[in-house]
Structure 1
């Protein structure tokens, strides 16, 4: 048996009612918070903690990224950044990690 690594998403804040970010009005995909802009992406192909770490590592290298939290069970990747990120930069980072960016969650 192997130990599974899990990356927990931050607890809900006043700007979001769920850890997955699924509550934004009108289906908005990013939210401004005191910590920066939070954006949730859907990534295809993550199956374990190693996958989460690879995606986190690559996205963390994008300029302006403050934090990244991936959850392989849902495929959701929550990114907090100082400014909105270029989706193509995120796509390239996810691709470099070996996975597929489906789009905004």
Structure 2
């Protein structure tokens, strides 16, 4: 017989997931109060990796404060200091390997 070793993992805190379903520290919720929030529809996201790829590319656009992508809905919420050029968002989503349908 062998002894079984168990390691207790820390439990998620209430601040882990936002009201939009994205896993974050709540920064996006705070940023929404100080910026312009735009919701886009992105085609092709199916998992957390997809969410991360889209979020990472859009985050590189100048003026973006936060990005929350939700694969289950295909929605990407972007908070920015000023309105974003939709072609810049389209190029970022394309670079991630997905298709921007438009604003939701």
Secondary structure at 1:77 match in 2: strand
The answer for the alignment partner of 1:98 in structure 2 is 97
Q: Distance in 2 between matches of 1:95 and 1:75?
A: 14
Q: Distance in 1 between matches of 2:33 and 2:55?
A: 21
The answer for the alignment partner of 2:78 in structure 1 is 79
Show CA shifts across 1:5-35 (max 9, x none): xx95x43xxxxxxx49xxxxxxxxxxxx532
Q: Distance in 2 between matches of 1:76 and 1:51?
A: 12
The answer for the alignment partner of 1:48 in structure 2 is 47
Please list every run of 5 or more consecutive structure 2 residues that lacks an aligned counterpart in the other structure.
Answer: 1-15, 22-31
Secondary structure at 1:84 match in 2: coil
- Give TM-score scaled by structure 2 length: 0.71
Cα-Cα RMSD = 1.8
Q: Distance in 2 between matches of 1:94 and 1:78?
A: 13
The answer for the alignment partner of 1:26 in structure 2 is none
Give runs of ≥4 in structure 1 deviating > 6 Å: none
Pair 1:35 & 2:34 matched: yes
Secondary structure at 1:47 match in 2: coil
Higher strand share: 1
**Structure number with bigger Rg:** 2
Please list every run of 5 or more consecutive structure 1 residues that lacks an aligned counterpart in the other structure.
Answer: 1-6, 12-18, 21-32
